């Protein structure tokens, strides 16, 4: 891990790279079954996309944050960009002809959700502001795509610390300081092999908790006892919690505690908008 003294003069704490979009959440009274009629008891429109959700959480934690993403040229694009700017996020957003990313999210009474993409995610169109990289302490790619490889290499060349989504483990041509994501993203990847390129690997397993893989072995973290109403954005909140402490050079145990708490609280609220950082701190203080 780099010496903290090496990045004290950098202007921004973190650049988050990836998706910015809108979720149209529909809350159902029962799980959806083929051939039946279901009447939603409520609906919610919110900003979404892994990068947008992670950026919102990180800036709420007190870090200085920039985002690199892509939106369309429709009415949604202005709303999405303004939402990020209102939070204080520095935006490097490319406008691509056509619709912005938008998804329909069906949420059942147990908080489980089905996400239906209504448009493209525009991740192929994201451009990282490479000239800005020497001013950034860490770069986060929440949803990894192979086309981010050159930007990851540029960030590392500029001395940035890096976090990528777990799907990056399958690409043997890359490395990063941390890989983090859900068990579904891990697939059948050999963690023993991947750990040689990724010093820290974090895997979430929903209600079964999460685990951390380092050179010292595997360490499990138990989940918090919550009553979920919507799992949308929980993985992004978990990632943001880990990153918020990791960027501050906290011990990995502290990073995992923050990640677990933020991910758990995210399931107790509707939509992808992350819970307030203050609420996460209150939860952790009550457990110590």
- Please give the pLDDT value at position 8: 65
CA gap 8, 137 in Å, rounded: 8
- Please give the pLDDT value at position 3: 60
> Which pTM value belongs to this model?
0.92
- Please give the pLDDT value at position 207: 83
Number of other CB atoms surrounding residue 218 within 10 Å: 12
> Residue 19's closest CA among 70, 87, 89?
70
Residue-range domains of the chain with CATH:
11-30+40-280 (3.40.1190.20)
Task: Tell me the torsion sign for CA atoms 209, 201, 150, 139.
Answer: positive
CA angle 61, 65, 70 (to 5 degrees): 125
- Please give the pLDDT value at position 32: 82
Locus of tokens 């209600």: 207
CA gap 75, 16 in Å, rounded: 23
Q: Count of alpha carbons within 13 Å of 76, Cβ hemisphere only?
A: 21
Tens of pLDDT along the chain (288 residues)?
A: 456 656 767 899 999 999 999 999 999 998 888 888 888 888 999 999 999 999 999 999 999 999 999 999 999 999 999 999 999 999 999 999 999 999 999 999 888 889 999 999 999 999 999 999 999 999 999 999 999 999 999 999 999 999 999 999 999 999 999 999 999 888 888 788 888 899 999 999 988 899 999 999 999 999 888 888 888 899 999 999 999 999 999 999 999 999 999 999 999 988 888 999 999 999 998 876
């Amino acid at each position: 891990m780099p010496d903290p003294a090496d990045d004290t003069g950098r202007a921004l704490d973190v650049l988050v790279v990836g998706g910015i979009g809108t979720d149209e959440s529909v809350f159902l009274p029962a799980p959806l079954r083929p051939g039946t009629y279901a009447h939603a008891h409520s609906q919610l429109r919110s900003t979404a996309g892994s990068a947008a959700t992670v950026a919102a959480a990180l800036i709420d934690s007190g870090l200085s944050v920039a985002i690199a993403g892509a939106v369309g040229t429709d009415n949604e694009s202005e709303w999405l960009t303004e939402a990020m700017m209102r939070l204080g996020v520095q935006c490097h957003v490319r406008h691509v002809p056509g619709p912005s990313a938008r998804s329909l999210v069906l949420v059942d009474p147990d908080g489980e959700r089905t996400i239906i993409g209504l448009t493209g995610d525009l991740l192929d169109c994201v451009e990282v502001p490479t000239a800005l990289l020497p001013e950034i302490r860490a770069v986060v790619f929440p949803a990894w795509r192979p086309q981010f490889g050159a930007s990851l290499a540029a960030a590392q060349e500029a001395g940035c610390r890096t976090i990528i989504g777990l799907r990056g483990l399958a690409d043997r041509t890359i490395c990063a300081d941390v890989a983090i994501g859900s068990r579904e993203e891990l697939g059948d990847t050999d963690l023993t092999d991947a750990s040689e390129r990724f010093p820290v690997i974090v895997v979430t397993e929903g209600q079964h908790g999460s685990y951390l893989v380092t050179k010292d072995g595997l360490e499990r973290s138990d989940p918090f006892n919550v009553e979920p109403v919507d799992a949308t954005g929980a993985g992004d909140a978990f990632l943001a919690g880990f990153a918020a402490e990791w960027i501050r050079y906290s011990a990995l145990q502290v990073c995992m505690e923050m990640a677990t708490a933020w991910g758990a609280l995210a399931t107790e609220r509707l939509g992808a908008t992350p819970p307030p950082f203050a609420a996460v701190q209150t939860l952790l203080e009550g457990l110590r």
